[in-house]
Structure 1
């Protein structure tokens, strides 16, 4: 929570920056509002400023004229290209992305630094030598700036005011050690954003430790189908090659940047899996948070009866995919790829069923009612499948954040994944209805050409064949009971599960 601080100065301070403005016009009421922020809330990747290139004059010789920085300030360029500035002052070490080459901005930043120094002195707060201050001028509020501190020794982020996690836009925590993980993640984010001046301030052991973490993660992924480690076996192998190439070398800004990014990801994984807590998530499908979706068993059952038990299958898969609102991108790719493959193959099969319906209409004595029912089901299956394929095109290669956004939007607060499961089921379910109407139509036509005994025998043989296939291709089911096979729609649910076993 921010706090307004009052002080007096000997002269008016009026500082104008572009596009940011910091103005303190009255010596008797001059103040600066400090807005605590985090390294994830600085808007680093959301900047909207543009550049206007223009022609200029090239000076003779090999030298170029550069702007002069204030004393104790240095300029660095992040590996991604963002320039930032670092001050190794007598009292505070400061980093900022503000343009310190601009005298107005430099004066504003210096004023903010002096204000924070005075605030620390007034409150009798002594910072460790390993502390570092981040500053950002506000362009939405006058007389204010955003800030946070990091401590390179304890690898944490902190503030001079008492804060709560909600006001900092942080996730809820379950313990003090859980909060420390969240603060360490913020610390590594800061190091990733400002790595170039830290070459002599971070120990080489950060590379050795991350190698140990990824070596264990790779082994865990290789030996477990439900590992919680966020990187796949292949990704671990590639990253270990990169990390091993830097082991034992002096740290430079480029190495610090990507190692900090990996530590950021590991801290996030540890936070979401409750690493080191009384109850930790040891299995990817283990839900740690209570369900916030009401149970609509009757509605799910009704949808299952109408759609051949397929919605329950998709609900189970989607729930396992999005446990505690977290998604593993490799599992997402498997699920979506299987769905896309299933919808595509359904379109091929339903086209054959549609052709068969049209041909049956030409047979003397054909029932136009049964034919139209089957044709309508085929057309609905083709339409729903085509729309789903178009809607999910490219999502099989989506990032984890894109997948999480998709699943978060797809999950209803009232019905969970039931609406999405029903939609996912439509192509296959409508195809099964078209086959059902087609089979009834064929039997209806047979009754015109054969006696009742032949028709009954054909029906018996078809039912026996389906039961035998399901019985002998489902060894996990109770082999001594036919009740499982005789449940409505269970045949088709098993067929679907076997076809989509890759999921």
Structure 2
């Protein structure tokens, strides 16, 4: 997305020759667009004061005037940055600060000097970005953006954790290219002003969006970084974007450029994470390229807790493994998972409230007040009910706080949970508590009711209730046993083997034994 008026046959303007010693104090550090600290810069305003508007038509030309060749521009999001058209340099540093022009000029010259020393031929469309590092005017982060190849680069070899992220096994240049292109689109997103929108880019984006929507519709394991509803909204923007594409000089298109850059960056990053074009590329969202994370844990503690919590941890763990694949969050699934959890927790809150009222009412029954065991078990039921209610409210508040806002915050949360003693299973155990405590509350209430029935009823009542109670107990424990891979069908071969290993004695053998005994 070159600046208007730039063509491939126009050479870069010559840069003034500066003695080497004039910028020896400047340190250049390879950086990426993701390291631009634009969103971390917070400038607190002073006391409230009513601004006096000057008389006559408002004139902002003085504030918007060039500062030593640097033009102030405003990103569609509202951020202020500066652009030097002669040297083709962008920066978020405030050029109007005293001494800043001299420092950044040294950094610019040192960057281009580094390119010359490295023997790199710069295309006319290449841009330089400088980022002031931690307020130190002597240290600048830098990168170059190549519009012809749509990548970023440096004049030195560079290993970047920010570029790779959690992706392991990057070996080929045609793989890392997707990461570089994703960062290129982030560069365009940060600095979309004074650009036109190439039609081929919009056509490519439209093809990607249409494919993504088709994949979402026809597959439950789509690799799309957006949900079907989000992609449908993106499709509605394609026609307006096509109307803006290819128009160079009529009016500014920074908003359209920003939209395309944001979408393209997300899709390129998804291709990088999923090893697009590589042997063994990830083809569905459940596929792990770093080993099988879905293998059942042999930790005896987890198996015991899964049984005690009625199989809920195992179910949650399977869902989490489909959300957190190879240290990467599947954002659409996370959103659906959180929505489902919120719905379940709302239901548990209602059930817990009803169950607590039932326990209190049960304790008020006169015949129960003489049954010490029933009272004790009812207390346990009430405590479990309160635990389910409190945990549901706490989890709902925590999840709705910040962990569902962005993929980055969710990934940070999941990575922290994965590093705990029990790993991701600890999160599954935590999410299982509202359901399991509510089930235990019902079980204790059933036990208290049974104690009252068996201690206060006659033989006829007990004989009728007992088989029904046993049947309900078996049916209630069946799902729990099934979730722990305990099935009656697994016991049948063992029973048959036991029968075969102990055959019944024949009639002849029996008679001989009787005769000998006589």
> Shorter-chain TM-score category?
0.7 to 0.9
Structure 1 partner of 2:146: 151
CA distance, structure 2, for counterparts of residue 72 and residue 161 of structure 1: 28
Residue pairs, 1:314-353, within 5 angstroms: 314-353=316-355
Cα drift, residue 150 of structure 1: 0.9
Structure 2 partner of 1:501: none
Query: Aligned match of 1:36 in 14, 27, 30?
Result: 30
Q: TM-score, normalised by structure 1?
A: 0.79
Query: Aligned match of 2:62 in 45, 54, 66?
Result: 66
CA distance, structure 1, for counterparts of residue 30 and residue 69 of structure 2: 25
Residue pairs, 1:44-443, within 5 angstroms: 44-52=38-46, 55=51, 58=54, 63-66=59-62, 68-70=65-67, 73-89=70-86, 92-102=87-97, 104-141=99-136, 143-166=138-161, 170-172=165-167, 173-176=169-172, 177-199=174-196, 203-249=198-244, 250=246, 252-290=253-291, 295-361=297-363, 362-364=365-367, 366-393=370-397, 395=399, 398-401=404-407, 402-443=409-450
Cα drift, residue 451 of structure 1: 4.4
Distance 1:446 1:124, change over 3 A: closer
Moved more, 384-393 or 41-50: 384-393
**RMSD (Å) for aligned C-alpha atoms:** 3.5
Structure 1 partner of 2:7: none
Cα drift, residue 62 of structure 1: 5.5
Cα drift, residue 290 of structure 1: 2.9
Distance 1:184 1:285, change over 3 A: same
Cα drift, residue 371 of structure 1: 2.7
Specify which structure has the higher proportion of helix.
2
CA distance, structure 2, for counterparts of residue 360 and residue 63 of structure 1: 78
CA distance, structure 2, for counterparts of residue 449 and residue 368 of structure 1: 13
CA distance, structure 1, for counterparts of residue 454 and residue 61 of structure 2: 97
The answer to whether the aligner puts 1:446 opposite 2:453 as a matched pair is yes
Cα drift, residue 119 of structure 1: 3.0
Maintained 8 Å contact 1:371/1:437: no
Kindly provide the CA deviation profile for residues 218-239 of structure 1, in whole angstroms up to 9, marking residues without a partner as x. 1111111221112122211211
Count the aligned residue pairs.
455
Distance 1:244 1:42, change over 3 A: same
CA distance, structure 2, for counterparts of residue 438 and residue 469 of structure 1: 14
Maintained 8 Å contact 2:34/2:162: no
Kindly provide the CA deviation profile for residues 230-287 of structure 1, in whole angstroms up to 9, marking residues without a partner as x. 2122211211111212214335221111100000111121122222221222222222
Distance 1:10 1:153, change over 3 A: closer
1:79 counterpart SS class: coil
Cα drift, residue 341 of structure 1: 3.0
| Higher-Rg member (1/2) | 2
CA distance, structure 2, for counterparts of residue 51 and residue 180 of structure 1: 42
Moved more, 107-116 or 187-196: 107-116
CA distance, structure 2, for counterparts of residue 283 and residue 395 of structure 1: 27
Distance 1:371 1:229, change over 3 A: same
CA distance, structure 1, for counterparts of residue 117 and residue 451 of structure 2: 94
Cα drift, residue 330 of structure 1: 3.6
Cα drift, residue 322 of structure 1: 1.7
CA distance, structure 1, for counterparts of residue 491 and residue 378 of structure 2: 25
Cα drift, residue 466 of structure 1: 6.5
Maintained 8 Å contact 1:157/1:186: yes
CA distance, structure 2, for counterparts of residue 164 and residue 10 of structure 1: 27
CA distance, structure 1, for counterparts of residue 45 and residue 351 of structure 2: 55
Maintained 8 Å contact 2:194/2:254: yes
1:428 counterpart SS class: helix
Cα drift, residue 463 of structure 1: 3.6
Kindly provide the CA deviation profile for residues 458-483 of structure 1, in whole angstroms up to 9, marking residues without a partner as x. 23224435767999x99x99xxx745
Distance 1:232 1:485, change over 3 A: farther
Gaps of 5+ in 1: 1-6, 14-23, 25-29, 487-503
Q: TM-score, normalised by structure 2?
A: 0.77
Distance 1:456 1:157, change over 3 A: farther
